Amino acid sequence: MKTRSSDRDQRYTRNKRDDPKFKPPLRGSGPPRDGVRVAPGRPERGDAAPGYSSTSRITSLVVDSLATLLAIIFKFDGPSDVLMSRFFRMHPALGQRDRGLIAEAVFFALRRYATLQWMMQPAHPARAPRLAALVTLARQHGTDAMDERALRGDASAVKRALEVDLASAPNAVHAELPDWLFAQIELQYPDAVALIDALKESAPLDLRVNSIKATREDVLEELAAHHVGAMPTRHCPDAIRLSIKPALTSWPAYREGRIEVQDEGSQLIARLLQPRRGQMVVDFCAGAGGKTLAIGALMRSSGRLYAFDINEKRLAGLGPRLKRSGLSNVHPVVIRSESDVRVKRLNGKCDRVLVDAPCSGSGTLRRNPDLKWRFSETEFARVNDVQRSILRAAARLVKSSGRLVYATCSLLEGENQHVVDAFLSEHADFDLIPAATVLRAQSIDVEHAARFAPYFVMLPHLHATDGFFAAVFERR
C-alpha cells in the first residue's frame, strides 16, 4: 500500500522508545511486562521505565508526585487512567521521563495492590501513600535506584516491607484479587489458577480494520512499510494485534478512519449479531460506540443503526469516531432509561438488537487493574438487577425471527449464564442459538467453543483476549 507523503513516515516509529515524542500510554496499559519479586531491595525484573539508567536516580520529585497521585487513585472513586491524565495536566512541570516512571509505577502498584497491602502492614497504602510509592518503586527498580534524599526517613520502613514473606499470605492476596471476586472465580473455573495468572498480565493492543475504508492486508502492508510489528489475530477477520503500544492517535491510519482500537473478543461479539445490509439494528448500551462502529461496517453503512445510551457524555465520544469511520447509517440517541419513549417506539420493529450490558468488567482487569478494587459485592447486586431489566426491555424491540445478543465483559456466571436462564424462563418466545454455529457461518472457529456451548466465551488464558460472554437468542 503506497503512502501519500513523506509526512506519514514521521507518524510511525520503528520502536516506541526510539521516538523522542513518545509518551507512555495512560489508558490502562500498565508496565510493558510484569515480573515476579526476587530478593528484597532488588528489581522485580530488569525492565526500567523510559529514560531510567543506573546513573539516573529516581528523584524526590518522582516519589512525591507518585505519592500524591496514589493518594488520589487509592480512594478508588474513579477510573485510574482518567485521574492520572488529570493529574499530569495539573502538573505540567513533570518531564517526559518522570511521567513515564510515574505512569508505570501506578499500574504496577494497581496490579499488585493486594500484595502491597500485605507487605505494608500495619500501614495501609491509602493512608501511607508515600511509603506505598517508595515500596512500589523499590519493587520495580530496587532501592539502589533511588536517590538517598528520596528515601529520607523511610528507608527502614521500605526495607521491612520488602522483607515480608509473602508465602504466608492468603490465596486471594497471591491472586491480587479482593476476597469476594477470588472466591467466585475459584468456584466457577476448574482452571482458575491459569485464568488468575493471565489476569495479572498486561493486555495486548488489538486494532479493528474498518472494512468500509481498507482491508486487513492493506493495513498490515502499511504498518510493515513503517516497521511497525503487527500480525493478524487468531479468530476475527478484521483484527490486527500490535507488538508495541504506540501513540496511535497521531497515525494516519487512525486519523483517516482505517483502524480503531478494539479487542478481538469485542469484535467477535459484533459478528454474533451478524447484521445485514438494509436492516434495522439497535446497540442498546452503546457507550463510546466501539461495537456500534463494528456493526455499522458489517452493515456496509446501509439500513439504520441506533446507538442508545443513558450516558450523554460517553455517547458524545462516538461523534469523532463516527466522523472518521465514514459510516452514514448510525444514529446516536441519548435515552433516560430502558423505558424511554424513543425505545418503545421501536417495539417489534428491529431485526437485530445488541445488549452490551453494564457489568463488573472483571474480564478486563488486565487493562483496568483498579476496577477490581472499585467494584464491590454491593455494586454487583445493583448491576445484576440492571442487566435483567435492560435485557427484558431490549427483547421487546425484536421482531419475529429477529436476533437478540446479550453480552458482557464479565467472567462471572451471576452476570452471564444466570441472567440468561432468568430471561429464558420469562420469555418462551425466544430460543437460544449456539454461538459457535453463528460464527462458523462466517468461517470463524473459536477454540474451546464446545466447553462453553451454547454460549460465546473468550478468556485471557485460553484466547489471549479480554474476558467476554455472549448469548444469542432468536425470536420465534
Is residue 454 packed enough to be buried (19+ CB in 10 Å), middle (13-18) or exposed (0-12)? middle
Residue 328 resides in a domain = yes
Amino acid at 457: V
* 458 and 344 co-located in one domain: yes
* 146 and 273 co-located in one domain: no
- Residue 147: predicted pLDDT: 86
* 288 and 402 co-located in one domain: yes
Residue range 37-51: average pLDDT?
A: 36
* 131 and 267 co-located in one domain: no
Element containing residue 283 per DSSP (H, E): strand 280-283
- Residue 48 clears pLDDT 90, i.e. is over it: no
CB 60 within 8 A of CB 149: yes
Alpha carbons 369 and 29: distance in angstroms, whole number: 9
Q: Where a domain ends, among 142, 169, 196?
A: 169
- Residue 152: predicted pLDDT: 83
- What are the distances in angstroms from CA 336 to CA 3, 292, 309, 310, 397? 46, 19, 8, 6, 17
CB 135 within 8 A of CB 108: no
* 155 and 273 co-located in one domain: no
Alpha carbons 132 and 113: distance in angstroms, whole number: 10
Q: What range defines the domain where residue 146 resides?
A: 31-169
Q: Where a domain ends, among 143, 169, 195?
A: 169
| Mean pLDDT of the chain, nearest integer | 89
- Residue 104 clears pLDDT 80, i.e. is over it: yes
- Residue 33: predicted pLDDT: 24
Residue 231 resides in a domain = no
* 458 and 316 co-located in one domain: yes
* 152 and 286 co-located in one domain: no
Domain count, the chain: 2
- Residue 467 clears pLDDT 90, i.e. is over it: yes
User: Closest Cα to residue 51, out of 89, 30, 22?
Assistant: 22
pLDDT band of 16, cuts 50, 70, 90 = very low
Residue 300 resides in a domain = yes
3-state SS, one letter per residue, for 124-143:
CCCCCHHHHHHHHHHHHHCH
Tens-place pLDDT, residues 231-246 = 999 999 999 999 988 8
- Residue 402 clears pLDDT 60, i.e. is over it: yes
Element containing residue 63 per DSSP (H, E): helix 60-73
pLDDT band of 375, cuts 50, 70, 90 = very high
Q: Where a domain ends, among 169, 203, 231?
A: 169
- Residue 22 clears pLDDT 90, i.e. is over it: no
pLDDT band of 12, cuts 50, 70, 90 = low
Residues in the chain: 476
Tens-place pLDDT, residues 120-162 = 999 999 999 999 999 999 999 999 998 888 888 899 999 999 9
- Residue 56: predicted pLDDT: 66
Residue 358 resides in a domain = yes
Residue 21 resides in a domain = no
- Residue 153: predicted pLDDT: 86
Alpha carbons 44 and 39: distance in angstroms, whole number: 8
* 271 and 145 co-located in one domain: no
Residue 310 resides in a domain = yes
Residue range 440-465: average pLDDT?
A: 97
* 158 and 276 co-located in one domain: no
- Residue 69 clears pLDDT 80, i.e. is over it: yes
Residue range 406-429: average pLDDT?
A: 98
- Residue 42: predicted pLDDT: 36
CB 424 within 8 A of CB 431: no
- Residue 414 clears pLDDT 80, i.e. is over it: yes
Tens-place pLDDT, residues 152-196 = 889 999 999 999 999 999 999 999 999 999 999 999 999 999 999
Residue 405 sits in a domain whose CATH number is 3.40.50.150
* 151 and 295 co-located in one domain: no
- Lowest-confidence region among 52-61, 287-296, 341-350, 412-421: 52-61
- Residue 404: predicted pLDDT: 98
- What are the distances in angstroms from CA 109 to CA 80, 180, 325, 431? 11, 20, 37, 45
Residue 449 resides in a domain = yes
Alpha carbons 304 and 315: distance in angstroms, whole number: 17
Residue 179 resides in a domain = no
